[in-house]
Structure 1
């Protein structure tokens, strides 16, 4: 079944970390000897060999793509967390007290999952090509399972109101205009930025270190961002109100 189990949902952050780690380390390369370069270099070589761009220009173009993906992921997840609540986003349990129809949830039902997938596209540029394919496919599949699990739970808990919301708001492809009226929910931006400090750390790493053309430096920035985010989680208050969908 596509629907994620309770175990997968509870340990979703750990599962993401494991899949990313496998994408970066590509243990299968020790046996198959598939990759010798990063996806960043591989993609830059394509337009360069075709004569469309110089290798330097193509490398910069791929870097800009990575920066845009990292920034878009951080912005989208922070926007969603501000309205949903950072504590709900990080909680191991599902919450279904009411539908959040504010902020990005007026345009799509799962902005946090979409943000995570866009984030994966940025990280994939730093992985070997086989690791990038592995990460994109497995993270995408895990996201779909988690979405299916949450939507099933929310349908059971909320029934008709949630089904009406689903009928109007797309699951993953954002609508160009709001699809439902705004709810009275107010954003908590400080907690949202604190909860998504890892995403912002990755975006800053791409933006500041990418111009050194050294993937290892960016990866170091990512690891440091992860460590800071684990410390920051201790400062996020526990969930006060059950709400809709998390990441």
Structure 2
């Protein structure tokens, strides 16, 4: 069930395709289009669960929390692993990284990606999100299983010990792993992860302006700036674990 080397190489293309499909939702007629950010508060109010203004505020808070989790995990994970390794087109193997978020969860980058797209899903049609999120979840799981098989074969028992000590997706705050000696690369990590940062900024702007067009432009600008920044990142000099 693990992803192939080609899937790993094309992971960004696949992720973007899933997001575009969810946002575009070509099967929804133009006159019936509505974002989840607009649809969900109305449905919650119609069900009598809370007043409309409270439902809107709650939806925006959820969106902001999802985006914040995505940005934090992506930036922190990239700073710990190294942006050049994160953006590599090939799986890398080397010393097991057990610092930063990798001390508590094995796949902070994939988890951050999932939270980021969940926040973006609030810009999708309900049926688009219902398709995009399961597709993304399945693809992230395939990537994770593929990397774990690759790294287990390359690194052997040290990595298998790491697998036993650190959960795949649900963080565990305590373990007996010795901390890894590594230097966090915060500056380049922020530049490399401008997409989730843009999603967070876009949702904050939307909460204050309720202008979905401005929010979408901010997200696109963040994505474009991230691509430019990544193009100028140095290539990894030595192999290390990779998860993006």
Could you say which TM-score interval applies, normalised by the shorter chain? over 0.9
Deviations 1:7-57 (A, max 9, x none): 110010011011100000012225xx8953211122212331233322122
Structure-2 residue corresponding to 1:142? 139
Give the unaligned 5+ runs of structure 1. Answer: none
Cα distance between partner residues in 2 of 1:224 and 1:183: 35
TM-score of the two chains, using structure 2 as the length reference? 0.95
* DSSP-derived class of the 2:123 partner: coil
Q: Trace 1:82-161 onto structure 2 (pairs within 5 A).
A: 82-161=79-158
Cα distance between partner residues in 1 of 2:213 and 2:53: 18
Structure-2 residue corresponding to 1:170? 167
Structure-2 residue corresponding to 1:26? 25
Are the aligned partners of 1:24 and 1:128 in contact in 2 as well (CA < 8 Å)? yes
TM-score of the two chains, using structure 1 as the length reference? 0.94
The Cα of 1:113 is off from its aligned counterpart by: 0.4
Structure-2 residue corresponding to 1:12? 11
Root-mean-square deviation (CA, aligned residues, Å) is 1.6
Are the aligned partners of 1:194 and 1:236 in contact in 2 as well (CA < 8 Å)? no
The Cα of 1:138 is off from its aligned counterpart by: 0.5
The answer as to 2:52 corresponding to 1:55 is yes
How many residues align structurally? 244
* DSSP-derived class of the 2:228 partner: helix
Give the unaligned 5+ runs of structure 2. Answer: none
Cα distance between partner residues in 2 of 1:236 and 1:71: 24
